[in-house]
Amino acid sequence: MTFRDALHERARRTRRRVVLPEGADGRVRAAAARIEGSGLGSVELLEGTPRSPLPEMLRLLRDRHPSKFPDDATAAAALAHPLTYGAALVALGRADVMVGGATFPSGDTIRAALWTVGMAPGITTVSGAFYMVKDDAVLTFTDCAVVPEPAPEQLAEAALAAARDRRRIVGDEPVVAFLSYSTRGSAAGPRVERVRRALELLAARRPDFAFDGELQTDAALAPDVAARKAPGSAVAGRANVLVFPDLDSGNIGYKLVQRLGGWEAIGPILQGVARPIADLSRGATADDIVDTVAVAVLQAGEQP
């Protein structure tokens, strides 16, 4: 069974409720039919402009952000956006997962998530991951989608969020490597120090998974190189979660692996929000949407 087959099979068992806000788009409609037809979840498809907001949606926005939404009119204006409306359904428990962004930029999806469901406990930064798949191998790349120049705290939180999600999405134990052009002191400079500080901040949280850094990519992934460059590391040579030092390296890295290495890229997957709000590329195919739904469903947990 391939990783995608296993992903879909596990997602089917959860029987989650999925809202797709961009029902006027043909790709979204095709994906909805496949999701329903395969038993991946029950779908609420919002056709065109969402219906009038429910009173509890207005209260949700006003209670969460009183300065931004001081009255019902301002809250209703925000909920006129289909992604905000769909995310509010998740926040109110009327749906388990929202997947959107096929026709809107990522900023709209992230804004909808922050206004409605908010951040997961212990996390203050939204980040994005790609699940890179080839044969039986699955690697998590983060952050490849959201924060251009992350501070050490943001790198630590991206690592924490990626590890939490990997357990749910892949079902194995995360092994986290903070990437750099340096391996354990082989080079120095402000960018290396930022990665080292992120490692210290993560260590202070006492996470229950293996992590190490700073590591060059070959030391993180190749056991023979790890034995020479980082002997004694609990992570080097076997990492499955790669934390990139900035958005340039993360975005470039996943696309090189995808285009030249022949790996499949599933994502971007938003990390760090309290309930699953998934983002789509505006170039997404119906297949991409179905895969993203399967991942988001597992972010919600395997127990219905």
- Rounded Cα distance between 166 and 154, Å, is 18
Domain, as residue range, for 190 = 124-265
The whole-number average pLDDT for the span 142-158 is 95
Two tokens at 279? 């983002």
User: Which CATH number does the domain housing residue 260 bear?
Assistant: 3.40.50.10750
Is residue 96 domain-shared with residue 215, that is, in the same domain? Answer: no
pLDDT at 283 over 90: no
State the virtual CA torsion across 168, 87, 51, 73 in degrees, nearest 10: 170
User: Which CATH number does the domain housing residue 21 bear?
Assistant: 3.40.50.10950
Is residue 55 domain-shared with residue 94, that is, in the same domain? Answer: yes
Q: How confident is the model at residue 49 (pLDDT cuts 50, 70, 90)?
A: low
Q: How confident is the model at residue 304 (pLDDT cuts 50, 70, 90)?
A: very low
pLDDT in tens, 162-206: 999 999 999 999 999 999 999 988 889 999 999 999 999 999 999
Is residue 51 domain-shared with residue 136, that is, in the same domain? Answer: no
Instruction: Decide the pairing of beta strands 137-142 and 241-243.
Output: parallel
Q: Which residue has the higher pLDDT, 154 or 185?
A: 154
Is residue 130 domain-shared with residue 170, that is, in the same domain? Answer: yes
Is residue 281 domain-shared with residue 248, that is, in the same domain? Answer: no
pTM over 0.85: yes
